[in-house]
């Protein structure tokens, strides 16, 4: 009996919450230090955590993240473009209520800009259940001095407003949280859009720039410039954009993020697994995003293979770890010597949006080449059959390229060639892959003559005929059905086939 009584007296003491439980707020004069991993704020509901977040070797940002997601998904950062040292850095709430972030050298890296003033000596920093980091006085009736919801980075949370004064900016990569090239913002005609703002050029790519605003279901007749989504997954913007998440309804924790690939996506969290599910996205085709593969490159997309990037003929990738820098002209194609001239190499089934300095309607291929050759700014041209005639889109830059079997354009790239053999020069250091740039639409799978002959059963079933050859039906090894054109002059075997 005494033992039982003793047990029940001790049990409540054992399970009493300790002071080590992370607080949801700090008062003025307090600080959070990067040297103490447990120096964090946790929202009362336990969903969000705020503290120093490691982004590299001895590099940290001050951030707010989902505590229950598998990868501790960051939703806001104070210093995304200027990480601080892993020793000695602090977030300080000074006497008087000024909130600053300092590095190891006690330099101020970031300061919270208050939107209101107070004479009160009691100021606190708190993380609420919505994931909003708030600087305010201790009085419930006092105004908010500053809040993270007013300065979003790449993510909106439920009931967080996007306004004329705020912008979402994508991160460079999944592990690099610094600012990248994509923005979600209200433009000067009051429409919510996605912008590619690259090192040299910029362009709107959502809503579709070739459509009139009202054809996209938007309106310019508003001046409020505000967008928000609620806890149920319903989004609404003042320009008439409206959508629901695919799992619409109360329950899951949600976030709207401008991802590293330039696509805007709404996510729901599975708290059992900590994983995120996409419940809406601005575009299902990643190649519609401008600048995704950088200049002088082409984006290709297949449901099985995902998105891929490759350089146009005569160019090579600039940064093998980051396609956003695109491709640069291979050294072997710079003009030099009397034995050099300029000609074109073509790639079919392409589209390149924008940057045409002129459009020549109802022109022959020969006249398009002549116009491009006579222009110092012409990098190439897109040749398309439209409404019964061929049109030529002369390009000053080769940007926003997209490849798909249903596209009708053929790109002609202006390059340096050798007069002697009238062949495109192959750079000295190029290997088999580079050679393949000119043997086929490079970075696509190349087939031998024997493989194509087998796929067409000896060029047996003719399904079409054009000015350059006959089109046959073929079945590939993975059972895909393909249309295969046999050029009129390529009948002698593999060598002549490849030459064509």
Question: Where is the binding site for ATP, in residues?
Answer: 485
The DSSP H or E segment spanning 2 is helix 2-15
The β-bridge relationship of strands 380-386 and 264-270 is unpaired
Q: Which two tokens stand for residue 11?
A: 């049990």
Query: Residue 368: exposed, middle, or buried by beta-carbon count in 10 A (0-12, 13-18, 19+)?
Result: buried
In angstroms, the first-to-last Cα distance of the chain is: 98
CA distance 379 to 318: 18
Residue 427 CA to residue 438 CA, distance in Å, equals: 12
**Inter-residue long-range contacts of 140-146, CB under 8 Å, 24+ positions, other chains counted:** 142/118, 143/116, 143/118, 144/115, 144/116, 145/97, 145/114, 145/115, 145/116, 145/117, 145/118, 146/99, 146/112, 146/113, 146/114, 146/115
Q: How far is CA 136 from CA 98, 99, 101, 122, 272, in A?
A: 11, 11, 17, 9, 34
Let me know how long the chain is.
500
Q: Give the Å distances, CA to CA, from 43 to 123, 174, 224, 312.
A: 18, 25, 31, 51
CA neighbor of 327 nearest in space, from 356, 298, 348: 298
Alpha carbons 197 and 324: distance in angstroms, whole number: 11
Enclosing H/E stretch for 489: none
Name the phi and psi angles at 83, rounded to 5. -60, 155
Question: Which residues, at least 6 apart from 467, have a Cβ–Cβ distance to it below 8 Å?
Answer: none
For 377-480, where are the alpha helices, taking DSSP H only? 432-439, 449-455
Q: Residue ranges for the binding site?
A: 485
Q: Hey, how many other C-beta atoms are within 10 angstroms of the C-beta on 252?
A: 18
Q: Token match 């250091």: residue? A: 429
């Amino acid at each position: 009996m005494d033992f039982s009584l003793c047990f029940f007296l001790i049990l409540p003491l054992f399970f009493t919450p300790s002071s080590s439980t992370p607080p949801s707020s700090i008062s003025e004069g307090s600080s959070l230090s990067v040297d103490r991993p447990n120096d964090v704020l946790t929202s009362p509901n336990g969903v969000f955590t705020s503290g120093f977040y490691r982004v590299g070797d001895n590099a940290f940002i001050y951030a707010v993240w989902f505590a229950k997601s598998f990868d501790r998904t960051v939703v806001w950062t104070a210093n995304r473009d200027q990480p601080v040292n892993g020793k000695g850095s602090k977030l300080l709430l000074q006497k008087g209520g000024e909130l600053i972030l300092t590095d190891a050298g006690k330099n101020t890296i970031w300061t919270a800009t208050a939107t209101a003033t107070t004479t009160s000596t009691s100021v606190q920093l708190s993380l609420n259940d919505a994931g909003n980091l708030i600087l305010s006085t201790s009085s419930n009736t006092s105004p908010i001095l500053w809040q993270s919801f007013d300065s979003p980075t790449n993510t909106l949370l439920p009931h967080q407003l996007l306004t004329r004064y705020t912008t979402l900016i994508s991160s460079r990569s999944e592990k690099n949280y610094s600012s990248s090239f994509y923005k979600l913002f209200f433009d000067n005609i009051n429409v919510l859009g996605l912008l590619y703002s690259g090192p040299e050029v910029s362009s709107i790519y959502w809503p579709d720039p070739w459509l009139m605003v009202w054809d996209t279901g938007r309106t310019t007749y508003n001046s409020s410039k505000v967008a928000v989504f609620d806890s149920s997954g319903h989004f609404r913007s003042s320009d008439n954009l409206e959508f629901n998440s695919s799992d619409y309804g109360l329950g899951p924790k949600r976030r709207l993020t401008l991802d590293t690939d330039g696509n805007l996506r709404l996510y729901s969290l599975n708290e059992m697994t900590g994983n995120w599910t996409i419940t809406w996205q601005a575009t299902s085709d990643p190649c519609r995003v401008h600048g995704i593969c950088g200049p002088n490159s082409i984006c290709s997309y297949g449901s099985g293979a995902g998105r891929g990037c490759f350089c146009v003929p005569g160019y090579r990738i600039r940064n093998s770890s980051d396609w956003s820098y695109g491709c640069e002209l291979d050294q072997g194609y710079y003009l030099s010597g009397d034995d050099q001239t300029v000609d074109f190499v073509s790639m079919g089934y392409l589209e390149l949006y924008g940057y045409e300095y002129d459009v020549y309607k109802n022109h022959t291929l020969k006249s398009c080449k002549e116009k491009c050759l006579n222009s110092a700014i012409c990098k190439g041209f897109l040749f398309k059959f439209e409404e019964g005639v061929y049109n030529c889109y002369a390009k000053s830059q080769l940007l926003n390229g997209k490849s798909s079997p249903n596209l009708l354009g053929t790109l002609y790239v202006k390059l340096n060639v050798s007069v002697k053999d009238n062949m495109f020069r192959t750079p000295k250091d190029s290997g088999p892959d580079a050679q393949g740039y000119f043997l086929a639409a490079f970075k696509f799978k190349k087939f031998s003559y024997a493989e194509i002959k087998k796929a067409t059963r000896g060029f047996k079933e003719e399904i079409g005929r054009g000015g350059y050859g006959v089109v046959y039906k073929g079945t590939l090894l993975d059972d895909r059905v393909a249309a295969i054109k046999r050029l009129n002059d390529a009948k002698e075997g593999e060598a002549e086939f490849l030459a064509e």
